[in-house]
Chain A
Amino acid sequence: MSSQSYPGGVVIANPYPVDQVKIIQSPLPDKVVLPLQQRIGEEALPCVEVGDRVLTGQVIAQTEDHFCVPIHASISGIVTAIDKQAIPHKSGLKATCISIESDGQDEWIKSQGCGSDFLHCDKQTIIDYIQHSGIVGLGGAGFPSHAKLNKAIDCHTLIINGTECEPGMMCDEALMQHHPREVIRGVEILLHITGAQQAIIAIENDKQEAYQSLLMFNHNDKISFAQLPTKYTSGAEKLLIKALLDVEIPSGGFAADKGILCQNVSSVKAIFDAVIDKRPLVSRIVTITGDALTPTNVEVRLGTSFEQVISLTDVNNQAHDYRMGGMMMGVDIETTQMPICKITNCIFVNNKTLKQPAKECIRCNTCNTVCPIGLLPQQLYWHAKSENIEKCTDYHLSDCIECACCSYVCPSNIDLVSYFSFAKALDKKQTADQERIDIARDRFEFREYRLDRNKEERSQMMAEKKQALKEKMAKDKEQGLEQTDKIAQAMARVKKTKEDNV
């Protein structure tokens, strides 16, 4: 399989290389904290109460929304609280979480699945299993897998994203190296669901051991491999599709529109666990790296605190800077008292350093040359800084994938991408405000129209009534005349009778 490249992006040497990519099994945590708000969709409603005993894999919260996935207990134990706690989100805000204290038994609930005979399972049934097992994109986006699958029934090509282009991150690499059988079987499940003719597993060419171990377990001729040059942003879905298939997904469009389904390799393994092993998603592999410790991977139950995971390593005793997510796309965090979530793929623990302050932008153009989307970051920066959303839209702000290549190369050390996410949020808010204003205006205008209409109707009604009355009066008058006639006739008759009698 030939592999192409794409313009832009940056080549970054792994800042914290390791000799061996290992996975440490974390011991069962004493306590887990599970946020009800997932990456996408509305907050789930708890279906347990404080004091309830729950089993590992038991659904503890869910939503009506078919787009969302339920939340499972990741250990067995007692629900101790349902309250607001710090969650790993860039806003730093707190959100409602369910806390479970472990009983140390890790007793699993019996879940549904197909077992190894998945080929006899109906496609929709498997997708339902995937949804009920709580599987989302584990690469960092957290997009529910079943929603993607529902859109991609009858796609022709499956892309399994094992590129893991974020420098320093190695949780997917570890997974491919140590669980090749599950990954390949998972791909076969996806092939069965989608009916795709081919599946391409994309790996960066610096992950040779992972590639070799997958290769060894692959006996399916529908599954092939593509080795991509080690360059940051090759893992971005649309860029990956462009590099592998030379298909450009239009702005605002989806891969499914072109008959392509992209899944992260960790999600594929989670699908294997759900469908064949009948186990919902209750754990994940997290890379712990940085210059304050020996980098490693830890397989950990969801909801375990960052602090506890970090304590499993040989971390030194100095003051640290923490960052979650990738070196490029992640966010700096202040506290480690937060739970590991489905999308927590990496934690950086670095010895504290002073941050270089940003200088003025000199429009040097370096950012333009690295933007994989072909945007003009320095122009966007200018307009985002002055909160000119209209201009930002002109420069296609919405197409920015926030890969942070521009921030990385900026000679003035400007964190460009934070300006872009700010501008996007502002745009969203302004659009929502505008919508509200539009609705209010529509309502007001309708009220005016309604009042006018009522007035008109009433005046018309009055006019009609008046007319009717007039007509009636005229008629009455006529009738009155007739009446007078009759009286006259009667009088005449009486008169006549009287005269006759006389």
Chain B
Amino acid sequence: MYSTGLNTNQIMRQVIYALALGVSASYIFFGWGIIIQILLGVFSALVIEAAFVVMRGRPALESINDGSAVLTAVLLAISIPSIAPWWIIVVGVAFAIIFGKQLYGGLGSNPFNPAMLGYAFLLISYPLQMTTWPVDFSAFSQAINIIFNALSFDGLSGATRLDEIKTGLSLGNNLATMQVYSTSQAWINAGFLVGGIYLLARKVIFWHIPVAFLSGIVVMALLVAVLDSQTHLPVQSHLMLGGTMLGAFFIATDPVSASTTPKGRLIYGFLIGVLIVVIRNYGGYPDGVAFAVLLINMTVPLIDHYTQPKVFGRS
């Protein structure tokens, strides 16, 4: 037919480009780690995707060209600690692509967000490596040494702000005595927010999911803060810490695993936002984007079924 607008490959590329600002922010604060992770991730994604597609007897080049494997790898590389050892991202990408996508039948058939499936797999399997975050800028050679040679990084690493808060609260400390903001995280989140707005403007994503996602966080955070503001994070912290903006604009908006009806997308986004706040406050993990997305992915068929739009001529 006569095509218009962006095609599927271009959509994937636009999403990858829009990640640039957030990645740059991460680079400015923490150095080369994230760049190396992304390159490693993309390389392994291409190899794994090609190998698997060939095994399935499909044309490999077409599949690689669609950009979805690359996008999955970039999203996962951004989500993990930038100083994680090299095999973390390789294993994660392999899991994401093979178990998250190809085994379901490839692009378009996966019920779960592949990058988040890979992330959840890594977090459960390698909790130590997945919770050791950089605290300072690392130069190229330093980053290479840390990632490939398992150079000791004491003094360079620590927990994330959300992790610190969780630990602090579990020790019975009061929020008033803790740091509930983080400049680096705020900038990284801001970077992804701007990238997300770009995607909205290019009509690569629709507004429903991000808006509902952020509303879910705000509503739930306000609600629990009313219960007890001493042990529950303020709304601003929820918005500017952890994977909030990346989740709202780049993860939850993955069309394949999201709800497809307009009303359904609002419910879907809102539920993820609510669940993130619940996990951050009451769950076992400091951040909850991946688990919230995966859990709500499971409800998509149900949401879709009950939110069908009105059909012309039917009441």
Report whether B256 and A362 are in contact in the complex, using a CB–CB cutoff of 8 Å: yes
Interface residue count for A (Cβ, 8 Å)?
A: 43
The reply on A310 being an interface residue by CB < 8 A is no
Q: What residues of chain B lie closer than 8 Å to A253, measured between beta carbons?
A: 313
Distance to closest chain B CB from A11 (angstroms): 10
* B108 x A374 contact (CB < 8 A): no
Decide if the interface of chain A is mainly helix, strand, loop or mixed: loop
Q: What B residues does A366 contact at CB under 8 A?
A: 5
Chain B residues, Cβ within 8 Å of A362: 8, 11, 68, 107-108, 255-256
How many B residues, CB 8 Å from partner? 35
Residue-wise interface mask of A (353-374) relative to B, using a CB-CB cutoff of 8 A (1 in contact, 0 not) = 0001101111111101000111
Please state if B312 and A372 are interface contacts (CB–CB under 8 Å). Answer: yes
- Tell me whether B311 is interfacial, beta carbon within 8 Å: yes
Q: Are B312 and A15 in contact, with the CB atoms below 8 A?
A: no
Mark the stretch among B222-230, B286-294, B302-310 that contacts chain A: B302-310
Residue ID in chain B nearest A8 by CB atoms: B312
A412 touches B314 (CB 8 A): no
Residue on A with the closest CB to B108?
A: A360
Question: Which B residues, 240 to 261, have Cβ-Cβ distances below 8 Å to chain A?
Answer: 255-256, 258, 260-261
- Report the stretch among A68-76, A127-135, A403-411 that lies at the interface: A403-411
- Asked if B210 is at the interface of the complex by the 8 Å CB criterion, the answer is no
CA distance in complex: A318, B311 (Å): 45
Query: Do A360 and B107 contact each other (CB < 8 Å), given the known contacts A365-B260, A412-B8?
Result: yes
> Separation in Å of the A371 CB from the closest CB of chain B?
9
Q: How far is the CA of A393 from the CA of B255 in the complex (A)?
A: 24
Contact yes or no, B313 A368, CB < 8 A = no
Flag if A365 contacts B255 (CB, 8 Å).
yes
Q: In B67-122, which residues have CB < 8 Å from any A CB?
A: 68, 106-109
Taking the nearest CB of chain B, how far is it from the CB of A360, in angstroms? 4
Question: Which of A250, A327, A404, A408 makes the CB contact (< 8 A) with B314?
Answer: A250
Report how far A411 CA is from B107 CA in the complex, Å: 14
Once the chains bind, are A413 and B7 in contact (CB under 8 Å)? yes
- Checking A357, A379, A409 against B304 with a beta-carbon cut-off of 8 angstroms, the contacting residue is A379
- The answer to whether B312 touches A239 (Cβ under 8 A) is yes
- A396 B106 Cβ-Cβ under 8 A: no
Contact A411 B5 (CB under 8 A): yes
Report if A297 contacts B (CB, 8 A): no
Given A373-B312, A374-B309, A399-B312, check contact A360 B3 (CB 8 Å). no
Does B311 contact A251, Cβ atoms closer than 8 Å? yes
Is A62 part of the binding interface, using a Cβ–Cβ cutoff of 8 Å?
A: no
Tell whether, in the assembled complex, residue A368 and residue B312 are in contact, meaning their CB atoms are under 8 Å apart: no
Give the distance in Å from the alpha carbon of A249 to the alpha carbon of B315 in the complex. 11
Chain B 248-281 per-residue mask, 1 if CB under 8 angstroms from chain A, else 0: 0000000110101110010000000000000000
**Given known A363-B255, A364-B255, contact A356–B3 (CB-CB < 8 A):** yes
* B1 touching A415, Cβ below 8 Å: yes
B66 within 8 A of A: yes
Cross-chain contact A376 with B261 (CB below 8 angstroms): yes
What's the least CB distance linking B67 to chain A, in Å? 11
Asked if B141 is at the interface of the complex by the 8 Å CB criterion, the answer is no
Q: How far is B1's CA from A404's CA once the two chains are assembled, in angstroms?
A: 10
| Contact of B108 with A361 in the complex, beta carbons under 8 Å | yes
Q: Would you call A399 and B11 a contact (CB within 8 A)? A: no
Chain B residues within an 8 Å CB radius of A378: 260
Report which residue of A327, A363, A395, A404 has the largest number of chain B beta carbons within 10 angstroms of its beta carbon. A363
Known: A359-B8, A408-B4. A251 touches B314 (CB 8 A): yes
Give the top 7 A-B pairs by smallest Cβ distance, nearest first.
A360-B108, A251-B313, A373-B312, A360-B107, A364-B255, A412-B8, A411-B8
B residues touching A (Cβ–Cβ < 8 Å)?
A: 1-11, 62, 66, 68, 106-109, 206, 255-256, 258, 260-262, 265, 304, 308-315
24 contacts between A and B (CB under 8 A): A10-B4, A12-B2, A248-B312, A249-B313, A359-B7, A359-B9, A360-B108, A362-B107, A362-B256, A364-B255, A365-B265, A368-B261, A374-B310, A374-B312, A376-B260, A376-B304, A378-B260, A399-B312, A399-B313, A408-B2, A408-B4, A410-B3, A411-B10, A413-B7
